[in-house]
Amino acid sequence: MPEVYNWQLGRKMAYLYPEVRPQRQAGAVFDTNKCIACQTCTVACKTTWTSGKGQEYMFWNNVESKPWGSYPLAYDAKILEKLGAQNWDGDVYAGKTIFEAAPEGERVLGYLPNDLDYAYPNKGEDETNTTVDSEKYHLRLPHDAWFFYLPRICNHCTYPACLGACPRTAIFKRPEDGIVLTDEQRCRGYRECVRACPYKKVMYNHVTRISEKCVLCFPAVEKGFLTRCMRTCIGKIRTFGWVNPPEKADPENPLDFLVHVRKVARPLLPQMGTEPNVYYIPPIHVENQRFLRMLFGPGATESVETYRNAMEGNDPELLGVLVLNVASDRIISKFKVQGETATGWDDQGNVVATVPLKEPTMVRPQFDPSVAVYRYNIT
Protein backbone atom coordinates (compact mmCIF):
# COMPACT_ATOMS: atom_id res chain seq x y z
CA MET A 1 0.00 0.00 0.00
CA PRO A 2 1.48 3.43 -0.95
CA GLU A 3 2.55 5.93 1.72
CA VAL A 4 1.16 9.46 1.72
CA TYR A 5 1.77 12.42 4.01
CA ASN A 6 -1.14 13.49 6.21
CA TRP A 7 -0.27 16.84 7.80
CA GLN A 8 -3.18 16.57 10.25
CA LEU A 9 -1.50 13.48 11.74
CA GLY A 10 2.01 14.90 11.50
CA ARG A 11 3.27 11.77 9.74
CA LYS A 12 3.10 9.54 6.72
CA MET A 13 0.42 6.88 6.56
CA ALA A 14 -0.77 4.06 4.32
CA TYR A 15 -3.43 4.81 1.70
CA LEU A 16 -4.85 2.91 -1.26
CA TYR A 17 -3.44 5.30 -3.89
CA PRO A 18 -0.35 7.53 -4.25
CA GLU A 19 -0.60 11.11 -2.99
CA VAL A 20 -2.14 13.43 -5.59
CA ARG A 21 -3.41 16.76 -4.33
CA PRO A 22 -5.81 18.86 -6.44
CA GLN A 23 -4.88 22.19 -8.00
CA ARG A 24 -6.76 23.78 -5.12
CA GLN A 25 -8.94 22.30 -2.41
CA ALA A 26 -12.45 23.46 -1.55
CA GLY A 27 -13.01 23.55 2.19
CA ALA A 28 -14.97 25.16 5.00
CA VAL A 29 -14.80 26.21 8.64
CA PHE A 30 -17.80 25.88 10.96
CA ASP A 31 -17.94 27.88 14.20
CA THR A 32 -19.72 25.61 16.71
CA ASN A 33 -20.01 28.51 19.17
CA LYS A 34 -22.53 30.27 16.91
CA CYS A 35 -24.61 27.34 15.64
CA ILE A 36 -28.20 27.42 16.99
CA ALA A 37 -29.40 24.23 15.23
CA CYS A 38 -32.07 26.13 13.33
CA GLN A 39 -31.67 23.47 10.59
CA THR A 40 -31.92 26.08 7.82
CA CYS A 41 -28.86 24.52 6.23
CA THR A 42 -30.40 21.07 6.47
CA VAL A 43 -33.64 22.18 4.80
CA ALA A 44 -31.79 24.15 2.11
CA CYS A 45 -29.74 21.10 1.19
CA LYS A 46 -32.70 18.74 1.43
CA THR A 47 -34.95 20.77 -0.87
CA THR A 48 -32.15 21.30 -3.38
CA TRP A 49 -30.56 17.86 -3.62
CA THR A 50 -32.46 15.05 -1.86
CA SER A 51 -36.17 15.44 -2.52
CA GLY A 52 -36.44 12.49 -4.91
CA LYS A 53 -37.54 8.89 -4.53
CA GLY A 54 -35.22 6.81 -2.38
CA GLN A 55 -33.77 9.97 -0.83
CA GLU A 56 -36.41 10.44 1.85
CA TYR A 57 -34.07 9.43 4.67
CA MET A 58 -31.01 11.27 3.32
CA PHE A 59 -29.58 14.35 4.99
CA TRP A 60 -26.39 15.28 3.18
CA ASN A 61 -26.27 18.19 5.63
CA ASN A 62 -27.35 17.49 9.20
CA VAL A 63 -26.93 19.17 12.57
CA GLU A 64 -26.51 16.93 15.59
CA SER A 65 -26.21 17.65 19.31
CA LYS A 66 -23.06 16.48 21.00
CA PRO A 67 -22.19 14.48 22.99
CA TRP A 68 -25.17 12.16 22.37
CA GLY A 69 -26.63 13.10 18.99
CA SER A 70 -25.55 11.38 15.78
CA TYR A 71 -26.74 10.61 12.25
CA PRO A 72 -26.71 7.74 11.48
CA LEU A 73 -27.16 6.47 15.02
CA ALA A 74 -23.88 6.22 16.99
CA TYR A 75 -21.74 6.35 13.84
CA ASP A 76 -18.85 8.01 15.70
CA ALA A 77 -18.96 5.76 18.76
CA LYS A 78 -19.01 2.64 16.58
CA ILE A 79 -16.04 3.54 14.39
CA LEU A 80 -14.02 4.86 17.34
CA GLU A 81 -14.59 1.59 19.20
CA LYS A 82 -13.58 -0.46 16.16
CA LEU A 83 -10.42 1.62 15.67
CA GLY A 84 -9.18 0.98 19.19
CA ALA A 85 -6.61 3.11 21.04
CA GLN A 86 -6.02 6.51 19.42
CA ASN A 87 -2.98 7.95 21.12
CA TRP A 88 -1.14 11.13 20.19
CA ASP A 89 2.54 11.85 20.81
CA GLY A 90 2.27 15.61 20.94
CA ASP A 91 0.96 16.63 17.52
CA VAL A 92 1.90 13.30 15.93
CA TYR A 93 -0.72 10.56 15.81
CA ALA A 94 0.70 7.34 17.25
CA GLY A 95 -2.32 5.11 16.63
CA LYS A 96 -3.60 3.44 13.49
CA THR A 97 -5.82 5.02 10.85
CA ILE A 98 -8.82 3.27 9.31
CA PHE A 99 -6.58 2.32 6.39
CA GLU A 100 -3.81 0.90 8.57
CA ALA A 101 -6.27 -0.93 10.83
CA ALA A 102 -8.21 -2.56 7.98
CA PRO A 103 -8.76 -6.31 8.53
CA GLU A 104 -7.14 -8.73 6.11
CA GLY A 105 -9.09 -8.85 2.87
CA GLU A 106 -10.63 -5.38 3.35
CA ARG A 107 -9.41 -2.04 2.08
CA VAL A 108 -10.74 0.13 4.90
CA LEU A 109 -11.87 -0.45 8.48
CA GLY A 110 -15.56 0.37 8.65
CA TYR A 111 -19.09 -0.89 9.16
CA LEU A 112 -22.38 -0.79 7.28
CA PRO A 113 -25.21 0.97 9.14
CA ASN A 114 -28.61 -0.71 9.05
CA ASP A 115 -31.69 1.09 7.80
CA LEU A 116 -32.98 1.94 11.28
CA ASP A 117 -29.74 3.73 12.13
CA TYR A 118 -30.90 6.52 9.83
CA ALA A 119 -34.32 6.77 11.49
CA TYR A 120 -33.17 9.01 14.37
CA PRO A 121 -31.65 12.19 12.85
CA ASN A 122 -32.51 14.19 15.98
CA LYS A 123 -31.65 11.54 18.56
CA GLY A 124 -29.98 13.23 21.51
CA GLU A 125 -31.01 16.71 20.42
CA ASP A 126 -30.52 19.25 23.22
CA GLU A 127 -29.50 16.54 25.69
CA THR A 128 -26.77 17.60 28.08
CA ASN A 129 -23.67 15.55 28.84
CA THR A 130 -25.07 14.49 32.20
CA THR A 131 -28.34 14.36 34.10
CA VAL A 132 -29.26 17.81 35.38
CA ASP A 133 -29.80 17.62 39.13
CA SER A 134 -31.70 20.63 40.44
CA GLU A 135 -29.82 20.51 43.75
CA LYS A 136 -26.45 20.49 42.00
CA TYR A 137 -27.13 22.94 39.20
CA HIS A 138 -29.74 25.32 40.57
CA LEU A 139 -28.66 28.84 39.55
CA ARG A 140 -25.05 27.76 39.27
CA LEU A 141 -23.10 29.77 36.68
CA PRO A 142 -20.98 28.71 35.00
CA HIS A 143 -22.00 25.06 35.25
CA ASP A 144 -20.58 21.87 33.82
CA ALA A 145 -23.75 20.54 32.18
CA TRP A 146 -23.17 21.16 28.48
CA PHE A 147 -24.02 20.25 24.91
CA PHE A 148 -23.30 21.86 21.57
CA TYR A 149 -24.44 21.62 17.98
CA LEU A 150 -22.27 19.98 15.34
CA PRO A 151 -23.28 20.69 11.71
CA ARG A 152 -21.92 18.10 9.27
CA ILE A 153 -21.55 17.68 5.52
CA CYS A 154 -19.22 15.54 3.43
CA ASN A 155 -15.64 16.53 4.29
CA HIS A 156 -14.37 16.11 0.70
CA CYS A 157 -11.31 14.52 2.21
CA THR A 158 -7.83 14.60 0.75
CA TYR A 159 -7.66 10.82 1.21
CA PRO A 160 -11.32 9.78 0.93
CA ALA A 161 -12.16 6.40 2.44
CA CYS A 162 -15.13 6.10 0.08
CA LEU A 163 -12.88 6.54 -2.95
CA GLY A 164 -10.32 4.08 -1.66
CA ALA A 165 -12.91 1.41 -0.90
CA CYS A 166 -14.88 1.51 -4.16
CA PRO A 167 -14.12 -1.60 -6.26
CA ARG A 168 -15.63 0.09 -9.33
CA THR A 169 -13.57 3.32 -9.05
CA ALA A 170 -16.93 5.07 -9.28
CA ILE A 171 -15.92 7.77 -6.80
CA PHE A 172 -13.41 10.38 -7.88
CA LYS A 173 -11.83 13.60 -6.61
CA ARG A 174 -11.93 16.49 -9.05
CA PRO A 175 -8.42 17.82 -9.81
CA GLU A 176 -9.59 21.42 -10.22
CA ASP A 177 -11.21 21.88 -6.78
CA GLY A 178 -10.88 18.66 -4.76
CA ILE A 179 -14.64 18.02 -4.63
CA VAL A 180 -15.40 14.30 -4.22
CA LEU A 181 -18.17 13.02 -6.51
CA THR A 182 -19.80 9.75 -7.49
CA ASP A 183 -19.97 8.60 -11.10
CA GLU A 184 -23.53 7.30 -10.98
CA GLN A 185 -23.14 5.47 -14.30
CA ARG A 186 -20.26 3.38 -12.95
CA CYS A 187 -21.76 2.78 -9.49
CA ARG A 188 -23.34 -0.65 -8.97
CA GLY A 189 -24.51 -0.09 -5.40
CA TYR A 190 -22.05 -2.40 -3.64
CA ARG A 191 -22.09 0.06 -0.69
CA GLU A 192 -18.41 -0.38 0.06
CA CYS A 193 -18.22 3.41 0.14
CA VAL A 194 -21.00 3.55 2.75
CA ARG A 195 -19.15 0.98 4.82
CA ALA A 196 -15.81 2.78 4.53
CA CYS A 197 -16.71 6.41 5.19
CA PRO A 198 -16.07 7.01 8.93
CA TYR A 199 -18.39 10.03 8.86
CA LYS A 200 -21.17 8.07 7.09
CA LYS A 201 -21.76 10.78 4.51
CA VAL A 202 -22.22 8.43 1.57
CA MET A 203 -25.77 7.08 1.39
CA TYR A 204 -27.47 4.32 -0.56
CA ASN A 205 -30.57 4.99 -2.67
CA HIS A 206 -32.79 1.91 -2.48
CA VAL A 207 -34.77 3.00 -5.54
CA THR A 208 -31.96 3.78 -7.99
CA ARG A 209 -29.67 1.25 -6.26
CA ILE A 210 -26.66 3.52 -6.37
CA SER A 211 -24.76 5.47 -3.72
CA GLU A 212 -25.19 9.23 -3.42
CA LYS A 213 -23.44 11.95 -1.45
CA CYS A 214 -22.96 15.68 -0.96
CA VAL A 215 -21.70 17.29 -4.16
CA LEU A 216 -20.66 20.54 -2.42
CA CYS A 217 -23.00 22.39 -4.79
CA PHE A 218 -20.30 22.26 -7.46
CA PRO A 219 -22.39 24.10 -10.10
CA ALA A 220 -22.47 27.12 -7.77
CA VAL A 221 -18.84 26.77 -6.69
CA GLU A 222 -17.73 26.72 -10.35
CA LYS A 223 -19.31 30.17 -10.74
CA GLY A 224 -17.79 31.55 -7.54
CA PHE A 225 -20.87 31.24 -5.33
CA LEU A 226 -21.27 29.68 -1.90
CA THR A 227 -22.99 26.33 -1.45
CA ARG A 228 -26.66 26.22 -0.42
CA CYS A 229 -25.95 25.24 3.17
CA MET A 230 -23.35 28.02 3.53
CA ARG A 231 -25.26 30.92 2.00
CA THR A 232 -28.49 30.20 3.92
CA CYS A 233 -26.80 29.94 7.35
CA ILE A 234 -28.80 32.09 9.77
CA GLY A 235 -26.12 32.15 12.45
CA LYS A 236 -23.37 32.98 9.94
CA ILE A 237 -21.20 30.23 11.35
CA ARG A 238 -19.72 29.08 8.02
CA THR A 239 -16.63 30.16 6.13
CA PHE A 240 -16.22 28.61 2.67
CA GLY A 241 -13.29 28.88 0.30
CA TRP A 242 -9.97 27.29 -0.57
CA VAL A 243 -7.62 25.64 1.89
CA ASN A 244 -3.95 24.92 1.22
CA PRO A 245 -1.50 22.53 2.88
CA PRO A 246 0.35 24.23 5.77
CA GLU A 247 3.55 24.80 3.78
CA LYS A 248 1.56 26.78 1.16
CA ALA A 249 -0.68 28.68 3.56
CA ASP A 250 -1.68 32.19 2.50
CA PRO A 251 -2.31 34.45 5.54
CA GLU A 252 -4.70 36.60 3.46
CA ASN A 253 -6.84 33.57 2.62
CA PRO A 254 -9.67 33.27 5.21
CA LEU A 255 -9.48 29.46 5.47
CA ASP A 256 -5.69 29.32 5.61
CA PHE A 257 -5.78 32.04 8.25
CA LEU A 258 -8.23 30.11 10.45
CA VAL A 259 -6.64 26.67 9.93
CA HIS A 260 -2.91 27.34 9.61
CA VAL A 261 -2.15 30.84 10.89
CA ARG A 262 -4.33 31.21 13.99
CA LYS A 263 -4.97 27.44 14.20
CA VAL A 264 -8.39 28.08 15.67
CA ALA A 265 -10.16 25.60 13.35
CA ARG A 266 -9.59 21.85 13.66
CA PRO A 267 -10.61 18.79 11.62
CA LEU A 268 -13.29 16.38 12.83
CA LEU A 269 -11.90 13.03 14.01
CA PRO A 270 -8.50 13.54 12.35
CA GLN A 271 -7.35 10.15 13.71
CA MET A 272 -9.41 8.47 10.98
CA GLY A 273 -6.67 9.45 8.55
CA THR A 274 -8.77 10.85 5.70
CA GLU A 275 -7.49 14.45 6.11
CA PRO A 276 -10.97 16.04 6.03
CA ASN A 277 -11.28 19.54 4.55
CA VAL A 278 -14.17 20.76 6.71
CA TYR A 279 -12.87 22.26 9.95
CA TYR A 280 -14.49 23.25 13.23
CA ILE A 281 -13.91 25.92 15.83
CA PRO A 282 -14.44 23.96 19.07
CA PRO A 283 -17.03 25.18 21.61
CA ILE A 284 -15.54 27.30 24.38
CA HIS A 285 -18.05 26.31 27.08
CA VAL A 286 -17.27 22.58 27.19
CA GLU A 287 -15.18 21.85 30.27
CA ASN A 288 -14.42 18.27 29.24
CA GLN A 289 -11.29 18.92 27.18
CA ARG A 290 -10.72 15.19 26.72
CA PHE A 291 -13.93 14.98 24.73
CA LEU A 292 -12.91 17.92 22.54
CA ARG A 293 -9.46 16.44 21.92
CA MET A 294 -11.06 13.14 20.93
CA LEU A 295 -13.34 14.96 18.49
CA PHE A 296 -10.98 17.62 17.10
CA GLY A 297 -7.47 16.39 17.88
CA PRO A 298 -4.79 17.48 20.38
CA GLY A 299 -4.95 21.16 19.37
CA ALA A 300 -8.55 21.65 20.51
CA THR A 301 -7.63 23.30 23.81
CA GLU A 302 -5.31 25.76 22.06
CA SER A 303 -8.11 26.64 19.62
CA VAL A 304 -10.51 27.38 22.47
CA GLU A 305 -8.05 29.80 24.07
CA THR A 306 -7.37 31.51 20.74
CA TYR A 307 -11.10 32.00 20.14
CA ARG A 308 -11.68 33.34 23.64
CA ASN A 309 -8.86 35.82 23.15
CA ALA A 310 -10.51 37.12 19.97
CA MET A 311 -13.92 37.42 21.63
CA GLU A 312 -12.29 39.56 24.33
CA GLY A 313 -11.23 42.03 21.64
CA ASN A 314 -7.55 41.11 21.50
CA ASP A 315 -7.39 39.77 17.94
CA PRO A 316 -9.14 42.04 15.41
CA GLU A 317 -7.86 40.00 12.45
CA LEU A 318 -9.48 36.82 13.68
CA LEU A 319 -12.64 38.71 14.53
CA GLY A 320 -12.61 40.20 11.03
CA VAL A 321 -12.52 36.80 9.35
CA LEU A 322 -15.40 35.57 11.48
CA VAL A 323 -17.68 38.56 10.82
CA LEU A 324 -17.15 38.06 7.07
CA ASN A 325 -18.93 34.69 7.33
CA VAL A 326 -21.82 34.70 4.85
CA ALA A 327 -21.44 38.46 4.43
CA SER A 328 -21.71 37.78 0.70
CA ASP A 329 -23.03 34.95 -1.46
CA ARG A 330 -19.70 34.99 -3.31
CA ILE A 331 -16.67 32.93 -2.28
CA ILE A 332 -14.22 35.18 -0.40
CA SER A 333 -10.63 34.32 -1.35
CA LYS A 334 -8.82 37.26 0.28
CA PHE A 335 -9.52 39.39 3.32
CA LYS A 336 -8.03 42.35 5.15
CA VAL A 337 -8.85 44.15 8.37
CA GLN A 338 -8.29 47.92 8.39
CA GLY A 339 -9.24 49.82 11.49
CA GLU A 340 -12.74 48.72 12.51
CA THR A 341 -13.66 47.26 9.13
CA ALA A 342 -13.13 43.87 7.47
CA THR A 343 -13.10 43.59 3.67
CA GLY A 344 -13.36 40.48 1.50
CA TRP A 345 -12.41 39.95 -2.16
CA ASP A 346 -13.38 37.18 -4.59
CA ASP A 347 -11.07 35.28 -6.97
CA GLN A 348 -11.24 38.08 -9.54
CA GLY A 349 -10.16 40.73 -7.04
CA ASN A 350 -13.62 42.29 -6.68
CA VAL A 351 -14.71 43.59 -3.28
CA VAL A 352 -17.71 41.45 -2.33
CA ALA A 353 -18.12 42.34 1.36
CA THR A 354 -17.25 45.17 3.74
CA VAL A 355 -18.47 44.80 7.31
CA PRO A 356 -17.75 46.52 10.65
CA LEU A 357 -16.01 44.50 13.36
CA LYS A 358 -18.71 45.65 15.75
CA GLU A 359 -22.28 46.33 14.68
CA PRO A 360 -23.29 49.90 15.61
CA THR A 361 -26.18 50.34 18.02
CA MET A 362 -28.88 52.78 16.97
CA VAL A 363 -31.11 54.23 19.69
CA ARG A 364 -34.31 55.90 18.50
CA PRO A 365 -36.55 58.25 20.50
CA GLN A 366 -39.27 56.35 22.30
CA PHE A 367 -41.93 58.72 20.95
CA ASP A 368 -42.16 59.27 17.17
CA PRO A 369 -43.97 62.59 16.58
CA SER A 370 -44.28 62.00 12.82
CA VAL A 371 -46.83 59.25 13.42
CA ALA A 372 -47.69 60.12 17.01
CA VAL A 373 -46.87 56.68 18.43
CA TYR A 374 -44.65 55.26 21.15
CA ARG A 375 -42.11 52.62 20.20
CA TYR A 376 -41.86 49.41 22.19
CA ASN A 377 -38.38 48.64 20.83
CA ILE A 378 -36.03 51.59 20.56
CA THR A 379 -32.77 49.77 19.62
Q: pLDDT (tens digit, 9 = 90+) per residue, 34-43?
A: 999 999 999 9
| pLDDT score of 33 | 97
SS3 284: coil
In the DSSP assignment, the letter for residue 232 is: T
The whole-angstrom separation of Cα 205 and Cα 71 is 16
Using DSSP's 3-state secondary structure scheme, residue 245 falls into coil
C-alpha span between 91 and 266 (Å, rounded)? 12
Between CA 348 and CA 333 the distance in angstroms is: 9
Tens digit of each residue's pLDDT, the chain (379 residues): 899 999 999 999 999 999 999 999 999 999 999 999 999 999 999 999 999 999 999 999 999 999 999 999 999 999 999 999 999 999 999 999 999 999 999 999 999 999 999 999 988 888 888 776 666 554 455 556 789 999 999 999 999 999 999 999 999 999 999 999 999 999 999 999 999 999 999 999 999 999 999 999 999 999 999 999 999 999 999 999 999 999 999 999 999 999 999 999 999 999 999 999 999 999 999 988 999 999 999 999 999 999 999 999 999 999 999 999 999 999 999 999 999 999 999 999 999 999 999 988 888 888 989 999 998 887 6
Exposed, middle or buried, 134 (CB in 10 Å: 0-12/13-18/19+)? exposed
One-letter identity of residue 19: E
Count how many Cα atoms sit within 13 Å of the Cα of residue 273 in the half-sphere of its side chain.
30
Q: How far apart are CA 188 and CA 87, in angstroms?
A: 37
Q: What pTM value is reported for the model?
A: 0.93
CB distance 121 to 66 below 8 Å = no
φ/ψ (deg, to 5) at 70: -170, 150
DSSP letters along 25-87, please?
EEEEEEETTT-----HHHHHHHHHH--STT-TT--SSEEEEETT--SSTTHHHHHHHHH----
CB atoms within 10 A of CB 111: 16
The candidate with the shortest Cα–Cα distance to 15, out of 154, 163, 183, is 163
Residue 260's SS3 state is helix
Q: Are strands 210-213 and 202-205 parallel, antiparallel or unpaired?
A: antiparallel
- Count each helix (H run) and each strand (E run) in the chain, helices first: 11, 19
pLDDT, tens digit, 9 for 90 and up, residues 160-177: 999 999 999 999 999 999
